[in-house]
Amino acid sequence: MFSSGQLLPQDVPRDTTSRRVLREYSLYIRHMVAKVLTDNGMPCNVFEPQDGGVPDYTKWTVMLDVPIEVVSPKIVADNTWVEAIDSFWSVLLRYFELRRDTSCGYHIHISTMSGGYSLDQLRMMAKAIIFWEPATKRCTPLSRHDRFVDFCKSNIAHDVPVVQTFLQAGPFRGLARAYDYIDNAGRDSIIDYICPDKYRAWNLLPSKTGGHGSIEFRRPPGVVTAKKAKHWIAFAMTFVDMAIQFNPSALAAYMVTNLPQLNSAYHPDFQEQLLTCARRLGVYPILDARLYQTDEPRSLHVRTMSSVRLDMLRAIDCNYQLSPNSPLFLHP
């Protein structure tokens, strides 16, 4: 299940128009997208949160965002999921012009066929997330890093409880202590330990007791092609499989044992193990050959970003530019 980027048909109102105009436009777009998908054999509902309930995840869903969010039905990761994604993007690109925008993200929910993760699987996932966080971050474009966006922050950022363990014991020995906590804590405590809110690179809140059981990967940027959509889905699937198949505890122990010889935790095993799992799952050909993705800033629309953050991006690459139809002001 995923949500995607920004849709731009004719007569798009400028971002400097009133909130009322933008809301009316978003409501119009929701119904337009739902009709286009339904007319092309992909039943799609418009979800109204004020009506209560939850979306029907057996169908495509369009809901209000800025301007909208498109959510897929639950898709089984068998030999048909690629065709389902290709069909969606074929229809969307036939009727709409899309652009990559820093205000958009591509969020992927992964769950098991049983509907949720066992406690042992959740523990393995939690360990993998905190161990491989620097490596997974390097696979995503710069504009999706903590310095530039607030909606997919690191699971080992300063405001996450697990970081206190690292501060007390150091980055390497802290891993052993963090893993000990994870091995002895209950489901909800583990999730609170590495994911205090949903705005994390890996959002585990849906896997809390009583939740619907998925894990959400929020780091990918908004996409405008089927190829990029499939890459990030394959990446998320592969990471979850890698987390459950491989044991990062052994790697952490190696780091502690060899601490005097280590200058930094570069995770040289990450790419090898990720690609091994991708081959095992049959998604290796779907992954982009450039595992470490970039923004391609010349075609990226930068909107609603603080002037400080934009200046930081431009100090790295002068091709980052404020979008021509961005608001007249920037968020401080």
DSSP string, 297-308: GGGEEB-S--HH
pLDDT digits (tens, 9 = 90+) for 159-182: 999 999 999 998 878 888 999 999
- What is the reported pLDDT for 80? 93
Q: Are 330 and 308 in contact (CB under 8 A)?
A: no
| pLDDT (0 to 100) of residue 3 | 47
Give the Cα separation of 297 and 52 in Å (integer).
40
Flag whether pLDDT at 13 surpasses 80: no
Model pLDDT, residue 245:
83
Other CB atoms within 10 Å distance of the CB of residue 305 = 22
> Tokens 């339904």 appear where?
38
**What is d(CA 86, CA 231) in angstroms, rounded to the nearest whole number?**
12
Supply the pTM of this predicted model: 0.89
Residue type, 37: L
Cα(228)–Cα(139) distance, integer angstroms: 13
Q: Calculate the alpha carbon distances from 195 to 129, 149, 162, 243 in Å.
A: 10, 17, 9, 16
- In the predicted model, is pLDDT for residue 324 greater than 90? no
pLDDT range class, residue 261, cuts 50, 70, 90? very low
pLDDT in tens, 277-322: 999 999 999 999 999 999 999 999 897 788 899 999 999 999 998 8
pLDDT tens, position by position, 34-86: 999 999 999 999 998 777 788 899 999 999 876 789 999 999 999 899 999 99
Which residues, 6 or more positions from 223, have their beta carbon under 8 angstroms from its beta carbon? 4, 5, 100, 106, 229, 232
- What SS3 state is found at 152? coil
